[in-house]
Structure 1
Amino acid sequence: MSVLQYTLIGAAGGALVEALDLFKWITVWQGERRTKSGALKESPPSWKLYVDVPKHVWLLVIRVPLGAAAAWLFSTTDQISGAYAALGFGFAAPAVLAQVGSLPGVDEALQDPDPPAAGDPDRAPPPGPPPAPVLITNSTDASSPAPTEDISSAKGDDEDEALPEDKP
């Protein structure tokens, strides 16, 4: 299949999402038009109470290009190899593109490669990941290091009340 075919099928997947949502609300409206016995109500509700046409039009305008973009992106990099996959990527485009955008490599590629450091526009921060956070525990067993801060003088709200001590 060509990239154009994948893109068109992805766009159809984006449209399919909105068509299914529209179908759901039409089905709800249809159910509300009838009594429990199945007879048509004397004054059935208007379909406009259930189907928000401007919302569906706007979401169709948004989801079709998103579906096309997702299928195009994955087909140009040979990540998909069939019409069903292109339709699926078009259907799930918002979630898929959000996940792809949150990957560390993608995030770094989209950011400015040389941002100025705070306070000094001539220097950029050092490259690489930020340092890992340090976990400080109060454990005193032999396999873990001693705590780095002195907690022996800490007391509760009452000055006479001492902290409980560990007994071996």
Structure 2
Amino acid sequence: MLHGRKDLVRDAHRAGAWVVHARTAPGPGRSAFLLEPGLLPADAVRTLPRAPASGLRGTPLSALEFTHCPLPADTLLGRPREGTALALRTFQLDRCLVAGAAVAAPRPYCASPRTPCSPAVTLGRSDGGTPRSPRSSPTCWPATAWPSWPCAR
């Protein structure tokens, strides 16, 4: 049975599954469980209203409260009391993937032909600055608008 509360859960009300880290025995280590909200008894879990958080107005944060929530054996991820180690291994992979996505995002820009914009396209700026209008040509970029990283030419 799961008892407890977790505050500041992002998109808890929309998620189709939750990974819950819970202490299953005295001592160090927590177990990780994959729970599907639709399969849990209605009175065992509550999604609480949005919690106030400084600087995060646009983030849909709420809380989850579990009361006598059953944890079937097939919801356990990994082995008992190894949920923290599993999370740390997952975070290592996530960090690599996020960094890779951030580096890969400018690749279409790197592969596209670019020419410096004329002052007319930059809305009268004679310094070759960044265009301020969505009407400017998407293949015409000012020479100073992009840093040389990650694809210097």
Question: What is the TM-score when the length of structure 2 is the normalising length?
Answer: 0.25
Tell which structure's C-alpha radius of gyration is larger.
1
> Which structure carries more relative contact order (alpha carbon 8 Å, separation 6+)?
1
More helix by share: 1
